[in-house]
Amino acid sequence: MSENNLPIKLVLPKTTDIVPNAGGGQLKFFGEVTPQLKREITDKFENLLSFYSDVFNENESIPAVGKITVKPEAIAKSHKPSDLCRNCPIIGSEELNEIYIKVNRKNIQETIEMVKNPPSQRFQANMTAIVDIQPIKPEEKISPTLHSIVQEDFNSIKKVIKLKVFDFDDDFDNAQIWDYVIRKLCSLHFEDKYEIISYGDQLKFLKIEVTSYDDIIKLASINGVKTVGFFKSIPFLRTIFR
């Protein structure tokens, strides 16, 4: 056999040659997982069920929003309670320590069962990061600027009230919530007082004419509405749907 035609030598790997990739660090627990902690978190999810019961009774496919507050030391992305929220997807955040989650009756009930019997160490670690879980209440949707202007010059803004609707990062859920919000506007007798204003393909708001601050409270009480403010100016180039 010539030097240019050497035999191929087969080298088989040994068990010690195979090493798993290093993980992203050890799980961080921010307290003990006690029966009391399980009860507290269960009660918070039960409160979500109660708060949104009218929405879920009307149509179980309509999504709602819960707000999770985490401990200051748990605001890092690596500590985000993704496992706790495996059935209630995270859809965004506002403050550093706050997380918005999509909820419906089924996924809340499933999460409650997992809180009672945590399915993983990561789930338990997520539980210890929680400070509070709350629904989105009407009063927190109304912008402070709107509230202050209402006290001073309500007539200047009553025709340009601005509603922002939650984005659930899902076409089906978004279609459902927009249909729901429009139906609620009509049931509250705003059917001739609203316009949908679109800025491009993705960003859209509702412009509504109101007659009193009570109307603003009613708008803020609609499930799916994220914020109630007012348009400071409306660009001429826009697409308006009715």
Position 19 confidence tier, pLDDT thresholds 50, 70, 90:
very low
Query: What is the per-residue pLDDT for 239?
Result: 44
Listed residue (166, 193, 207) closest to 62, CA to CA: 166
Q: Is the pLDDT of residue 15 over 80?
A: no
Question: Does this chain's domain 35-136 share its CATH topology with 140-241?
Answer: yes
Specify the range with the lowest mean pLDDT, choosing from 22-36, 48-62, 64-78: 22-36
3-class SS string, 35-69: HHHHHHHHHHHHHHHHHCHHHHHHCCCCCEEEEEE
Give the residue-averaged pLDDT of 166-181.
Answer: 96
Instruction: State pLDDT tens for residues 201-227.
Output: 778 999 999 999 999 999 999 999 999
Evaluate whether 168 touches 180 at the Cβ level (below 8 Å).
no
Average pLDDT on 55-66 reads: 96
Q: Summarize pLDDT for 112-168 with one digit per residue, the tens.
A: 999 999 999 999 999 999 999 999 999 999 999 998 887 778 888 999 999 999 999
Q: Which helix (H) or strand (E) holds 93?
A: strand 90-93
Helices 35-51 and 105-116 cross at an angle (nearest 10°) of 170
Chain Cα centroid distance, residue 29: 24
Q: What CATH code would you report for 35-136?
A: 3.30.70
Average confidence (pLDDT) over 78-94: 94
Asked if the model's pLDDT at residue 3 lies above 90, the reply is no
What's the rounded Cα separation, in Å, for the pair 167 and 150?
A: 27
Give the pLDDT of residue 235. Answer: 52
3-state SS class at 34: coil
pLDDT tier at 196 (50, 70, 90 boundaries)?
very high
In this predicted structure, the answer to whether residue 237 has a pLDDT above a threshold of 50 is: no
Nearest to 126 by CA among 151, 165, 99, 159: 99
pLDDT at 232: 85
**Third-level CATH fold of 140-241:** Alpha-Beta Plaits (3.30.70)
Report domain extents, the chain.
Answer: 35-136, 140-241
